[in-house]
Each structure stands twice: as structure tokens, then as C-alpha cells.
Chains A and B, each alone.
Chain A
Amino acid sequence: NAGVTQTPKFQVLKTGQSMTLQCAQDMNHEYMSWYRQDPGMGLRLIHYSVGAGITDQGEVPNGYNVSRSTTEDFPLRLLSAAPSQTSVYFCASYGRIYGYTFGSGTRLTVV
């Protein structure tokens, strides 16, 4: 089925560890984005990309890196995890026909 695939679904990290959240879409969407969801805060935009090779910062980019080498993939990297990055992360892609399609989310806990 066409859509956005996020891995992993759950992750526990120790402070200072690094990891990459994977996101892939098969809808040939140019636009992809990462959000974090915290209680009482809604979803906040971390980084986004309007196409391969192009990325830009959203509302809360600090502590996160992204790259977009292909249309399909948009990984989110935490270089040195902090407890403040404990959150649920959503990847989304956007196309004019179907609008936004969200992945199923990654629940990240940093201890």
C-alpha cells in the first residue's frame, strides 16, 4: 500500500547516544517533513524538504539534522540525544492530490 513508512516504532536511548529515525514514502512526493508531538503542544515542525538535496528548518530544529539524498527517503538524525527530545515523532509527505500523509509515528524515550 502506498504511504509513509517510519521505523522504528519505539526506541529508548541513553543521554548522549545518537540514532536515526527512518522515513520512506512511495508516492513520489517532493515535500516531506518531520514533526514532534508533545503533550499539550500539538505537532511542531522540526525540519522539512521540498525535494532531493533541499532541506530547511522548521519551528524546533535544534538538536536534529536531516538530509534528502533521494525523493523517497528523509531520515532524521539525533546526534547527541537529550531527555528534552523524549517525544513522539511523525514523518509526513505532501502531495496535491491526497494532501498530507503521515507515518505511524516513533515513540522515543531518552533516559
Chain B
Amino acid sequence: AQTVTQSQPEMSVQEAETVTLSCTYDTSENNYYLFWYKQPPSRQMILVIRQEAYKQQNATENRFSVNFQKAAKSFSLKISDSQLGDTAMYFCASLITQGGSEKLVFGKGTKLTVNP
């Protein structure tokens, strides 16, 4: 079975500082994708960053970067220079292709608060 675990239900950070959100996953597949989604109070699910499992290089999108440790099945998100607008729920998710269909499995989320 495919599982995604986020061990930090809540975190807080001061504006302009750096914060890292943890995520571990379990899959027996070799070909998969990993994602971080942001859900602000508006409820919209917004893709923050994605990583293909076959790529060793860690993905980066502006202030957001990941530390992808494939052997350890770890996929953490680092937010640099935190901004008030980063306050949101963050979900880690893994996508596998199996039998011709794709399944996206989510962790339970981390509520991040950026304090002024």
C-alpha cells in the first residue's frame, strides 16, 4: 500500500526565516512523483513543487526547495525567506502509475503559520 506521513501537524516560523516541513512516504513502485501542495484559507489546492523519483537533483521553485532522499523515502520542503502569505496548510502527496491509472495519495497535512 502507498502511504504518506507528515509528522508535524502544526509549525510556526517568523517572517523572513527558513522553515522545513517533513514528509516520508512508502511505495514499492520505482516510477513515481512527489508533490507539495499549499492550501490557503481560500481552500484552493495550489501546487508548490513536484519531484520525479528518477531525478536525483532536488527540485526548486523560487523560495521553495525540496530535499529528496530516495533511499530513505523522505521528501521535505524548505521554505526560505518566509512570507505572511505562506501561512497555509501544506500537503505532501505521492503519485504512482499502476495498471494504467494514476493515484495521488496525500499526507494529513502540516498547518504552517508565519508570524510577523
Which residues of B lie under 8 Å from residue A42 when comparing CB positions? 4, 6, 91, 106-109
- Give the size of the chain B interface in residues (CB under 8 angstroms): 23
**Which of A11-19, A67-75, A76-84, A97-105 is near enough to bind chain B?**
A97-105
- Contact across chains for B102 and A94 when beta carbons are under 8 A apart: yes
- Give the size of the chain A interface in residues (CB under 8 angstroms): 23
- Contact across chains for A33 and B104 when beta carbons are under 8 A apart: yes
- Contact across chains for A92 and B107 when beta carbons are under 8 A apart: no
Given A40-B9, A99-B47, A102-B44, are A45 and B104 also a contact pair (CB < 8 Å)? Answer: yes
- Contact across chains for A104 and B44 when beta carbons are under 8 A apart: yes
Given A104-B43, A104-B44, are A31 and B106 also a contact pair (CB < 8 Å)? Answer: no
Residues of A within 8 A of B (CB): 31, 33, 35, 40-45, 48, 50, 56, 58, 88, 90, 92, 94, 99-100, 102, 104-105, 107
